[in-house]
Amino acid sequence: MNPNLASGGLKALLLENRAALLRFLVARGVPPDEAEDLLQDLFVKLEGQPSGPIAEPRAYLYRMADNLVLDRRRSAGRRSNREKAWVALQAGSSLDADDRPSAEQVLIARERLAAVSHALAELPERTVQIFRRFRIDSVPQKEIAAELGISLSAVEKHLQKAYQVVVEAQLQLDADMPPPRRPTGKSET
Amino acid sequence: MNRQAQQDLQAQAIAWHIQLRGDAADWGAFVQWLEGDPARSDAYDAVALADAELEPGAFPAPAIAANDDLIAGSSSRNRRWATAFAAIAAVFLIALIGLPWLTAGPDRYEVATAAGQHRTAPLGDGSSVQLNGATRLILDRNDPRFAELVTGEATFSVRHDAAHPLVVVAGDHRVQDTGTTFNLIRDRGRFTIAVIEGSVVYDRGGAAVPLAAGQTLRADEAGRPVVGREDPQAMTGWQRGQLSYRAAPLETVARDLSRSLGVEVAIDPELMALPFTGSVRVDRDAVTSLASALGLQARRTGDSWLIEPRSRAPR
């Protein structure tokens, strides 16, 4: 175990980079007072981290902060949808009010999965293959380029195309069905 | 914003998302990009959230992709098969894989169950954890003494090792244990520990609370932790299909039943706080018997149950 990378080290690094992380959170649309809370959450979270090796501790902190923002956006969207879902339930239709896989959610997840699956199936096989290596197998772009004997920018182009399709499919689904998506607490100034 | 500008923005957000997932992530430059226009953060959200929802099951399986008809087939029959395949794949993948990248750290992986499903997972050091339905747990290949309960219910059976306590995190709740059996529930704002054998230390923001066998702790999102007592046998009742309660809000019972039955059980908002004392057998009549025991009625709406006052009929 590398002492530099113990959770104590990460916490020290967080304190050191507090101002920069706050600036990041505000740029991500988190109101300044909530940004403070979020950093506090992050600090507490580091307590539970095993002291394993982390290659880029600073990037790791940014990533964790970003994940917290995304988690909040997701659950905020769900909370605001709960009332709507209640009405929907009364009307006898399915609901998406929850943050765990209920029977309805499994159905909705299936539907979403099928839609994204269709979208991916429309892509050239090569693009899907590259996307899979990157997204599922977590192979760095450089290695994918080497594996396939193509340039880094070609890999990037394939990934860009694949993500476009995935994002469009999800946006379409959200337009059809009110999503757990809209961020709250955004400063609209 | 016109369509072209929107597409450009989305392309930029995607490029950033790809860059940030790699080794050469330049977060400082990302901040500068974000600060250029508030719409950029929204565009990035759309990309990152879409990616987070992306499951391995959405990818056409390589072996089947060779048969283009099956996946991209245009007849409704083929599409049904593709959908069915994706659905089956999804169910298996929910159970077996999960999303690696949200779990922060290369050696983290997710173990999850669908509602209604039970599963036992080894923790790699002779310890093990039993997952109730609708549960997500993050484990670490390199650190068998770490677990994160993302949501749901699980019973940890921990091998004794005083030098390396097992730490389970659940949001800002932290449970440390050196060799014992305990049950955790994390469900929305509710967090509950029940110690079956041995002892654990609960910690939240630095306030340590030791708990011994037979003790329970319940913490709400805002409130202070409340320590109570329960029969250790009843604590893991879910494993035997028997749920026991003492003055538990009906909403809690409904959430537990949803997890165990794999069917959403909703409660009329007026009844959520209604206290329930007694046992519920987890079987197909569980919801109706619970309702009738309370003088209420259970109604099926689509795939879910709704427990409501009896006189809901039009007057």
* Burial of B145: CB neighbours in 10 Å, binned 0-12, 13-18, 19+: buried
CB contact under 8 A, B302 and A24: no
Distance CA B313, CA B91 (A): 38
CA distance A23 to chain B (A): 8
Q: What is the DSSP string of B208-221?
A: EEEEETTEEEEE-S
Which of residues A135 and B11 earns the better pLDDT score?
Answer: B11
| Cβ–Cβ < 8 Å for B270, B308 | no
Helix axes A18-27, A57-90, angle to 10 degrees: 40
CA nearest B69 in A: which residue? A121
CB contact under 8 A, A183 and B42: yes
CB contact under 8 A, A131 and B148: no
CA distance A7 to chain B (A): 13
Percent of chain B's residues with pLDDT above 70: 82
Instruction: Collect all residues of chain A within an 8 Å Cβ-Cβ radius of residue B65.
Output: 121, 125, 128
Mutate to test the interface with B, among A11, A23, A100, A159 (most CBs of B within 10 A): A100
Q: Which pTM was predicted?
A: 0.47
Closest CA to B56 of B80, B18, B86: B86
CA distance A22 to chain B (A): 11
| Cβ–Cβ < 8 Å for B301, A89 | yes
* pLDDT on residue B15: 94
**pLDDT at residue A39 is higher than 60:** yes
CA nearest B10 in A: which residue? A164
Distance CA B41, CA B35 (A): 9
Instruction: Collect all residues of chain B within an 8 Å Cβ-Cβ radius of residue A64.
Output: 104
| Cβ–Cβ < 8 Å for B175, B193 | yes
Distance CA B223, CA B201 (A): 18
Instruction: Collect all residues of chain A within an 8 Å Cβ-Cβ radius of residue B164.
Output: none
* pLDDT on residue B66: 33
Option in A44, A52, A112 nearest B107 (CB): A52
* pLDDT on residue B101: 38
Mutate to test the interface with A, among B37, B41, B203, B287 (most CBs of A within 10 A): B41
* pLDDT on residue B41: 95
Which residue ranges of chain B lie beneath pLDDT 70?
A: 1, 61-106, 221-223, 312-315
Which of residues B285 and A88 earns the better pLDDT score?
Answer: B285
CA distance B233 to chain A (A): 26
* pLDDT on residue B223: 64
pLDDT band at A103 (very low <50, low <70, confident <90, very high): low
* pLDDT on residue B63: 37
If one counts every other C-beta atom within 10 angstroms of the C-beta of residue A69, the result is: 23
Option in A101, A120, A122 nearest B115 (CB): A101
Distance CA B37, CA B34 (A): 6
Instruction: Collect all residues of chain A within an 8 Å Cβ-Cβ radius of residue B9.
Output: none
CB contact under 8 A, A140 and B60: no
CB contact under 8 A, A47 and B49: no
| Cβ–Cβ < 8 Å for B191, B222 | no
| Cβ–Cβ < 8 Å for B115, B134 | yes
Instruction: Collect all residues of chain A within an 8 Å Cβ-Cβ radius of residue B306.
Output: 89
Instruction: Collect all residues of chain B within an 8 Å Cβ-Cβ radius of residue A59.
Output: 25, 27
Instruction: Collect all residues of chain B within an 8 Å Cβ-Cβ radius of residue A86.
Output: 266, 269
Distance CA B168, CA B60 (A): 36
* pLDDT on residue B120: 83
| Cβ–Cβ < 8 Å for B140, B108 | yes
Instruction: Collect all residues of chain B within an 8 Å Cβ-Cβ radius of residue A52.
Output: 105, 107, 140, 142-143
